[in-house]
């Protein structure tokens, strides 16, 4: 089954207590796509500038991503982000953002991608997310992410987008901001009133909450002491989750719970090295081995 992701590609400079990674491949769509390749075929739609290194395109094609939807726009510059993590890596400061090509018109979904089964609308302006959605014929499942910027500045557009998606994957702080609830569990529950059939609230080192019509599931993060660079954890989570759902005949509560644990484990692998170094070289076998250990940890009667 085919998985389509639309979102940002970027050139990141990341500083953590473990060192600095200058000018590395990043962006929400990239982390999502690379993580998802371990489960299914992945198609990527996005736009970069002329300065986007060939080696970055090669990294993606080597990972098995179909980048027919990657537009390299003449005269434009690639999105750039630079950030520095705190000592405990639970906070980060954005040192520099250059939106560049992301401020121009959005990319186009190639005709060959219009039959995609699962669609992930990574974080971007919610109006653009709907435009992307409209270019895919009849996806089995559409899921989106968002961020504080759009909750503040484009709330009506975001509420309209939430009416046309099946699922929402969002950070805890953003879930509280969007719903006005003070408590993560209450916020997760309130998200379902806004349109989606399911919502996932990501709590970083504290795990994730899945809410569906049938109830609430909370799981911790996979316990690790080997965090080198938390960048891309959330998008890798979504990539592992939706990549896994592509392997399932039915997307019901059981499949969603199973996908939640894959997302968690996939994210735990991403953050063990800078940029995509670790996640691109993992394997489904390694992921499933960690899934078994994690399931075993959570099996208590």
> Which residues would be at the binding site for a second copy (CB under 8 A)?
87-89, 182-186, 189, 203, 205-207, 209, 215-221, 223-225, 227, 257-258, 260-261, 291-292, 295, 297-301
**Inter-residue contact 234 to 205 (CB < 8 Å):** no
The residue among 13 and 217 lying less far from a second copy, judged by its C-beta, is: 217
Retrieve residue 132's tokens: 């992307």
Cβ at position 94, least distance to a second copy in Å: 21
Alpha carbons within 13 angstroms on the beta-carbon side of residue 186 total 7
DSSP state of 88: T
Q: Which of 165, 194, 164, 166 is nearest to 178 (CA)?
A: 194
DSSP 8-state code for residue 300: -
Rounded to whole angstroms, how far apart are CA atoms 153 and 209?
26
Angle of the 253-270 helix axis to the 284-298 helix axis, nearest 10:
110
Closest CA to 242 of 132, 116, 124: 116
Nearest approach in angstroms of CB 299 to a second copy is 6
Q: Which residues, in sequence order, are CB contacts of 25 under 8 Å at separation 6+? A: 9, 10, 11, 12, 56, 59, 275, 276
Minimum distance, C-beta of residue 80 to a second copy, in the bound complex (Å): 29
Alpha carbon distance 175, 202 (integer Å): 9
CB of 293 vs a second copy, minimal distance in Å: 9
Closer residue to a second copy in complex, CB, 117/253: 253
Among the listed residues 165, 166, 164, 194, the one whose alpha carbon sits nearest the alpha carbon of residue 174: 194
Nearest distance in Å: CB 288, a second copy: 10
CB of 160 to a second copy, least distance (A): 28
CB of 90 to a second copy, least distance (A): 9
Q: Where are the alpha helices (DSSP H) in 100-213?
A: 126-134, 148-153, 155-162, 172-179, 184-191
User: Does an H or E element contain 188, and which?
Assistant: helix 184-191
Smallest gap from residue 179 Cβ to a second copy (A): 12
Residue 58 or 292: which CB sits closer to a second copy? 292
For residues 39 and 113, which CB has a smaller minimum distance to a second copy in the complex? 39
Q: Which is nearer to a second copy, 42 or 189 (CB)?
A: 189
- Which letter does DSSP use for residue 194 in this model? G
Q: Which is nearer to a second copy, 163 or 206 (CB)?
A: 206
Residue 97 vs 293, nearer CB to a second copy:
293
Please, which residue, 64 or 204, has the CB nearer to a second copy?
A: 204
């Amino acid at each position: 089954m085919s998985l389509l992701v639309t979102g940002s590609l970027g050139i990141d400079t990341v500083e953590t207590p473990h060192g600095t990674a200058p000018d590395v491949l990043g962006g929400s769509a990239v982390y999502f796509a690379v993580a998802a390749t371990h489960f299914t075929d992945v198609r990527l739609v996005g736009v970069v500038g002329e300065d986007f290194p060939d080696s970055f395109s090669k990294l993606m094609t080597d990972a098995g991503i179909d980048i027919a939807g990657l537009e390299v726009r003449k005269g434009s510059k690639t999105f750039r982000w630079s950030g520095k993590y705190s000592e405990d890596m639970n906070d980060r400061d954005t040192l520099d953002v250059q939106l560049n090509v992301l401020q121009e018109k959005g990319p186009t979904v190639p005709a060959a991608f219009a039959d995609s089964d699962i669609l992930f609308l990574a974080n971007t302006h919610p109006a653009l997310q709907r435009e992307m959605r409209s270019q895919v014929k009849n996806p089995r499942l559409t899921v989106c992410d968002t961020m504080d910027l759009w909750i503040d500045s484009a709330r009506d557009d975001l509420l309209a987008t939430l009416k046309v998606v099946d699922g929402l994957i969002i950070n805890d702080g953003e879930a509280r901001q969007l719903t006005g609830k003070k408590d993560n569990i209450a916020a997760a529950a309130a998200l379902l009133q806004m349109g989606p059939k399911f919502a996932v609230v990501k709590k970083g080192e504290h795990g994730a909450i899945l809410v569906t019509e049938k109830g609430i599931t909370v799981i911790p993060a996979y316990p690790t002491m080997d965090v080198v660079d938390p960048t891309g954890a959330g998008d890798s989570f979504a990539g592992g989750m939706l990549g896994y759902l592509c392997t399932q005949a039915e997307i019901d509560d059981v499949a969603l719970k199973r996908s939640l644990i894959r997302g968690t484990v996939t994210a735990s692998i991403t953050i063990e090295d800078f940029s995509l170094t670790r996640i691109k070289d993992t394997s489904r076998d390694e992921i499933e081995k960690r899934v078994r250990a994690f399931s075993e940890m959570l099996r208590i009667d």
